[in-house]
């Protein structure tokens, strides 16, 4: 099985072209527009849970699973995630 890289993912699945004639692929080297910046800043300021469950479960469902012992409570991992969010904020909004 052939391994894929990021460049392969951006290629058209039908023809393999890496061109973007409509300009739909955002430039990663360009700073975010003002509206995007506000959206990013709001998200990073209000995130209170990360990881898969942070995206798919409600607060009530998460607390119920945590109380039942279904969620591993690892303070070191939580601290790592907090640092990652702070680093993302620094990189994206600098």
pLDDT of residue 17: 65
Interval 73-89: pLDDT, tens: 888 988 888 898 889 88
How far is residue 46's CA from residue 68's CA, in Å, rounded to a whole number? 26
Q: What pTM value is reported for the model?
A: 0.52
Rg (CA), the chain: 19
Q: What are phi and psi of 2, to 5 degrees?
A: -80, 135
pLDDT of residue 47: 83
Interval 21-69: pLDDT, tens: 555 555 555 666 777 888 888 888 888 777 778 778 888 998 899 899 9
How far is residue 91's CA from residue 79's CA, in Å, rounded to a whole number? 18
């Amino acid at each position: 099985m052939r391994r894929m890289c990021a460049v392969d993912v951006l290629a058209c699945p039908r023809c393999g072209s890496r061109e973007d004639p409509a300009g739909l692929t955002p430039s990663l080297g360009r700073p975010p527009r003002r509206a995007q910046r506000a959206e990013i800043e709001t998200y990073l300021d209000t995130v209170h849970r990360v990881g898969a469950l942070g995206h798919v479960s409600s607060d009530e469902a998460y607390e119920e699973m945590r109380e039942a012992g279904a969620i591993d409570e690892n303070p070191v991992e939580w601290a790592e995630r907090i640092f990652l969010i702070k680093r993302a904020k620094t990189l994206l909004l600098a």
